[in-house]
Amino acid sequence: MLKRQVEPELMNATDQVEAYAAADFSHSDQALVEWIAQRFPAGLGERVIDLGCGPGNIALLLV
């Protein structure tokens, strides 16, 4: 069994957190959705599980 290695925290300062929260990821989110749509032309079905981090923006675009 692999031992879990915790990654170092990348956003320690308030300004870093605020900049990330204000960032516009819509173009990269849409690019990923289009990539997924090309690979699954029949669709993903009615259920999607988002195993990533964040607010679920990509999952919302997929359903």
pLDDT at 31: 97
Structure tokens at 34: 């289009």
pLDDT at 24: 95
Q: 58 with 36: CB under 8 angstroms?
A: no
Q: 57 with 25: CB under 8 angstroms?
A: yes
pLDDT at 19: 92
Span 3-58, pLDDT tens digits: 999 888 888 899 998 998 899 999 999 999 999 999 998 888 887 788 877 788 89
Q: Distance between CA 14 and CA 49 in Å, rounded?
A: 30
On the CB side of 28, CA atoms within 13 Å amount to: 3
pLDDT at 56: 86
Coil, strand or helix: which one is 49? coil
- The pTM for the full model equals 0.67
